[in-house]
Structure 1
């Protein structure tokens, strides 16, 4: 249906994934560095991806780097940090025009690869340290990003839910880092960590677009060199706690709209047989405007400004998010829990199942129509250390039965309820 043709090879200490496709007129090269989530390193990684974008040895400031990108027909360089399950990823992505569509520009691809190599391996530095003024500036920028979470009450509530739900697990860690850790980071220590990341992280490089696989493999292999064999980061397994009763955390601030978030344990991850049914369960429960949560909490009872659910593919968690009037806490909580009971009892139709499957599959197809989305979907297999292509994922979803969804629903259990509400609200808890 999708026809994804992913070629994977191990070379020079990293995994190279080439994904030839004529769907895109651009060529995307994405380098993903994977390491276990760690409080000791998470703030450094968040800061590092900002510092690396500020210049290289050949292009010593952001302006010079941007001019080089512009000369490559508007190439776009982006970096970000993210977490999937118990791992932390730093992503470097460079997207450029395909030279096939530009006359007399056969060197674009070579220049693009050379620039990406420069960004990754030759950042602006001196005497084994990043430039102090750059580090200081980016520390301030990161501090602002960290503090901005407090102002976004939905993100803040989700962060606090994870703080409490995963208090003794890696997944609680904030991907943007911690303000209190910034002061101890020096230009020298950050550079030392950067060098260790190059040596020790698992590195996967993706190339997608209308490319010649053999030619691209040769070019990328010569650009990304490592001194030792690839480091396949060990699979992390943390035992899941199970409580007799969900913990309820209530916090109060001077806000008008309360945030009511639920955290469930699914104990189902990307590589598990039940993963397909979990996908369908989430679609029925809270993944779409046609879901139980949206219709019953928001539409029928007008209790929520929004009500939705999503699941974490690699950690075995499912979250419910809702924005409510502070006075409606107990009623909204009751109706959300009732919708879970509805799912456990199989109170949904085959037609609802069919419509939800169609929505999920269309969503996956739309993701694959975007170069960045396609690579993220393919990378799920790396994180899960399993082979499950997009085609397999779609086929699995198509084959999910009603009984499969009911079985998944009955595996879920409520771990934590988090309420962020108004200071004057009586919650009776």
Structure 2
């Protein structure tokens, strides 16, 4: 079956998604491995790809690992760890030049699959466990990344607002895990975590380039060598959490500028037909420089250094981020709440609608120019179970008027106000 040009199949226990095209000079390869976000597995799962990129059975030293990428005409290799809804996703990416542009004895697509298959399924082991020095070094890498969040107060406030709002849900967890759990991770127990992660992960493999689904399926079976387990899918059993009252949380740290963050809950998620209305709502509220928060809180009232909003369509959560002088807290809360009320009342100008549609149109049109953007858009479909092309979404956005945005606004309920402020003066 096809959608957006992607052809979908399966091999070796993973879902395969191929977009045959001559539009790009490279092959874009993306492998997503998703598991439920869970307290006891989130930190080891985050650490696994850091250790896997250090060395494999054939390329045990990190220098050999990098040299092999050079052999593939400087192929790009990287990974990300993030969350989508209540899932923790590890994404591996490779970018390899198309064979027809170089003089290569072997198929570069085949060589890339051999490399990626080995990274995933044949890590370097010593005495049946991961190499001790690699685990020790990469544990510190993850620790530093988590510490960097604490040091970046804008990111810290955004994370803390989500933690407070979702205190009894998996979504409160950071995809890189928890610093407190790192010391207990050993080469032995990390290898055990890796095995259960690989067995339990939902695997989606994407290829965009001049190839066919048949070729990709053969390459997967040859190079991923996994027993063909039943192909798993994401479950989208979303239940919107009811908001009974707005919680206010104040935290004091050594900061010069206050960080005022708010969390909202909505019943609208990516798979809903009115998802376009929620996108428009977020755009008009705080997604862009013409948005209500930016214009009213930052420009007109000069209350904030920055003010914006985000919407996670896989979780049904909206967030507002702003940086303010601590003495302006009350005033800033009032004016932000006023913008939420304006949207619920349907006070939306034609200019706000058309500018927001134009911004979303640009974003959706740019997807067509990037193989990895095409992949990431289609992956939303795998996560949500909703079959909707970028062009279909764009058509829905173009048809969204003030009435539809007002209806979406009525579903967004303020849940949590989080304020990060300075230490009390002695």
Normalized against structure 2, the TM-score is what? Answer: 0.95
Q: Tell me which residue corresponds to 1:64.
A: 64
Q: Tell me which residue corresponds to 2:171.
A: 171
Q: Tell me which residue corresponds to 2:369.
A: 369
> Structure 1: how far apart are the matches of 2:262 and 2:23?
39
Q: CA RMSD in A?
A: 1.8
Q: In the TM superposition, what are the counterparts of 1:414-425 in structure 2 within 5 Å?
A: 414-424=414-424
Q: Tell me which residue corresponds to 1:149.
A: 149
> Structure 2: how far apart are the matches of 1:236 and 1:212?
30
Q: Tell me which residue corresponds to 1:404.
A: 404
> Structure 2: how far apart are the matches of 1:97 and 1:121?
24
Residue 74 (1) aligns with residue 74 (2) = yes
Distance 1:4 1:105, change over 3 A: farther
Q: Tell me which residue corresponds to 2:96.
A: 96
3-state SS of paired residue (2:156): helix
Q: Tell me which residue corresponds to 1:390.
A: 390
1:78 CA displacement? 0.6
Distance 1:274 1:202, change over 3 A: same
Q: In the TM superposition, what are the counterparts of 1:201-240 in structure 2 within 5 Å?
A: 201-233=201-233, 235=235, 237=237, 239-240=239-240
Q: Tell me which residue corresponds to 1:338.
A: 338
Q: In the TM superposition, what are the counterparts of 1:81-160 in structure 2 within 5 Å?
A: 81-160=81-160
Structure 1 residue runs of 4 or more that deviate by more than 4 Å after TM superposition: none
Residue 356 (1) aligns with residue 356 (2) = yes
3-state SS of paired residue (1:235): coil
Q: 2:261, 2:320 within 8 Å by CA — same for their partners in 1?
A: yes
Q: Tell me which residue corresponds to 1:285.
A: 285
Q: In the TM superposition, what are the counterparts of 1:170-189 in structure 2 within 5 Å?
A: 170-189=170-189
What do residues 87-141 of structure 1 show as CA deviations (whole Å, max 9, x unaligned)? 1111111111111211345532221111111111111112321011111111111
Q: Tell me which residue corresponds to 1:307.
A: 307
Q: 1:306, 1:322 within 8 Å by CA — same for their partners in 2?
A: yes
What do residues 341-382 of structure 1 show as CA deviations (whole Å, max 9, x unaligned)? 111111112232122112102112223422222211110011
Q: Tell me which residue corresponds to 1:265.
A: 265
Distance 1:121 1:209, change over 3 A: same
What do residues 20-72 of structure 1 show as CA deviations (whole Å, max 9, x unaligned)? 23332211111111111111110001111100110111111211111111121
Residue 317 (1) aligns with residue 317 (2) = yes
3-state SS of paired residue (2:53): helix
Distance 1:414 1:224, change over 3 A: same
Q: 1:34, 1:233 within 8 Å by CA — same for their partners in 2?
A: no
Q: 1:35, 1:233 within 8 Å by CA — same for their partners in 2?
A: no
Range 47-56 or range 196-205, more displaced: 196-205
Size of the aligned set, in residue pairs, is 424
Q: 1:327, 1:425 within 8 Å by CA — same for their partners in 2?
A: no
> Structure 1: how far apart are the matches of 2:180 and 2:366?
40
> Structure 1: how far apart are the matches of 2:239 and 2:109?
46
> Structure 1: how far apart are the matches of 2:281 and 2:101?
44
> Structure 2: how far apart are the matches of 1:389 and 1:40?
36
Range 367-376 or range 115-124, more displaced: 367-376
1:286 CA displacement? 0.6
> Structure 2: how far apart are the matches of 1:70 and 1:411?
51
Q: Tell me which residue corresponds to 1:19.
A: 19
